[in-house]
Amino acid sequence: YLRDEPPMDELDALKKKYDFIRTFDKEKPVYVNLFPNDADYSFIKTYDYDAYVEKYLQIGVPMLSYDNYCIKDEGKVLRERYFENLDLGMKKAAKYNVPCWTFVLSLAHGNYFNCDETTFRFQAWNGIAYGSAAIQYYTYQHSYTAWGTAILDKNFAKTEKYYYAQRLNAEI
């Protein structure tokens, strides 16, 4: 793990860190996760998401990963540019011949709601339909209980979401 959601103006420094790590270890993946295409400018520091993904992939990373939690506001709203992000991610990954990894949101936070098994499946199968090579879960375990329940609770005990993920992983 190198960085989560780097802004555009940090990608050059990120490349230097990536190259430094690669001088010692060329085998293990160096993980970075990008912002989604509708991230606020104050976070991502660019209005050109295409250029952001392109610049990131030019680092030479072994995969493209971004979080794009699709369902908000108690399950009533599908993120407006969700499918556009899936499409762009897969096309950019193909251009650079790297796999694209997508997320299943498991944890309520911000304006994202407490996902049930149906929304787990919706998120995973959409990623796979677009060509995702891996499904990641945000988050597997979380100790900050105000955000809701993750796949494992703050004591690392299995929650009902563990079984959602278990069944989904078996299907995939």
- CB under 8 Å to 35, separation ≥6 — which residues? 5, 7, 43, 44, 52, 66, 67
pLDDT at position 95 is 97
CB atoms within 10 A of CB 153: 16
Element (H, E) at 17: helix 11-24
Q: Are 86 and 134 in contact (CB under 8 A)?
A: no
Helices (H), 60-116: 82-95
Would you give the distance in Å from CA 126 to the centre of its chain?
13
- Segment 67-122, tens digit of pLDDT: 888 877 766 678 889 999 999 999 999 999 999 999 999 887 777 778 899 999 99
Q: pLDDT-based confidence at 45, cuts 50/70/90? A: very high
Residue 163 has pLDDT above 80, yes or no: yes
Provide the Cα torsion 139, 101, 135, 142; round to 10°: -10
State the burial class of residue 31 (Cβ atoms within 10 Å of its Cβ: 0-12, 13-18, 19+): middle
- Segment 12-27, tens digit of pLDDT: 999 999 999 999 998 9
